[in-house]
């Protein structure tokens, strides 16, 4: 069984992520989308548990995909340890631009040193989504833009609602 991991922050999952998920899932028997719980990053829009839940909603009904082919999980530790524990042969990364490349290649080299059996595979972003990041989504949500073109439709309401809650609290505090 060939299993791969697609790690990231997914705060929240975007259509760019979903595009990589579908393409990677077609290449392996199982793809584990893994929310990396990164303690050095500041608190996000969603907690890691919520991101997992939103990802599960987004991947539930991918057309043409059998059940079990995409799993969603989270991990506080190192990717290489998670990969070893789950018998994964590859880590999948999406590349949008040269700016992604530098950091991702550095991580790939480090991960290879830590676990030479884990290959990192890069999938070039679909041209439709090269501009798209979770940060862009958060900006759009803040200004009340229609999120339908940016995130899976199953999670549009959740993102809008969370942004309204946050704006409400910030307003009260300020």
Q: Could you give the residue numbers annotated as active site?
A: 17, 41, 96, 134
Rounded to whole angstroms, the Cα distance separating 92 from 82 reads 14
Which of the residues 72 through 111 are near ligand ADP (CB under 6 A)? Answer: 93-94, 96, 100
Asked if 4 interacts with ligand ADP (CB under 6 A), we say no
Residue 6 in tokens: 């697609």
Can residue 20 be called a binding residue for ligand ADP (CB under 6 A)?
A: yes
> What's the burial of 118, exposed, middle or buried (CB within 10 Å: 0-12/13-18/19+)?
buried
The SS3 assignment for 143 reads coil
Q: Which member of 4, 5, 10, 152 binds ligand ADP (CB under 6 A)? A: 10
Number of H helices, E strands in the chain: 6, 5
- Report the nearest approach of ligand ADP to the CB of residue 137 (Å): 8
Cα 28 from Cα 90, distance rounded (Å) = 9
Q: Which of the stretches 15-23, 63-71, 78-86, 158-166 binds ligand ADP when contact is defined by CB under 6 A? A: 15-23
Q: Which residues make up the interface to ligand ADP (CB under 6 A)? A: 8-10, 14, 16-17, 20, 93-94, 96, 100, 125, 129, 132-135
């Amino acid at each position: 069984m060939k299993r791969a991991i697609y790690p990231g922050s997914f705060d929240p999952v975007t259509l760019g992520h979903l595009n990589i998920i579908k393409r990677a899932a077609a290449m392996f028997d199982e793809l584990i989308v893994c929310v990396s719980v990164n303690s050095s990053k500041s608190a996000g829009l969603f907690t890691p548990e919520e991101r997992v839940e939103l990802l599960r909603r987004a991947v539930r009904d991918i057309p043409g995909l059998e059940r079990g082919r995409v799993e969603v999980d989270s991990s506080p530790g190192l990717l290489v340890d998670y990969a070893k524990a789950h018998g994964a042969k590859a880590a999948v990364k999406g590349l949008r631009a040269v700016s992604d490349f530098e950091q991702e290649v550095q991580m790939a080299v480090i991960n290879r040193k830590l676990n030479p059996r884990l290959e990192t595979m890069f999938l070039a972003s679909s041209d439709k989504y090269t501009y798209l990041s979770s940060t862009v989504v958060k900006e759009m949500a803040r200004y009340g833009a229609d999120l339908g073109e940016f995130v899976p439709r199953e999670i549009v309401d959740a993102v809008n609602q969370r942004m309204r809650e946050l704006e409400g609290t910030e307003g009260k505090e300020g």
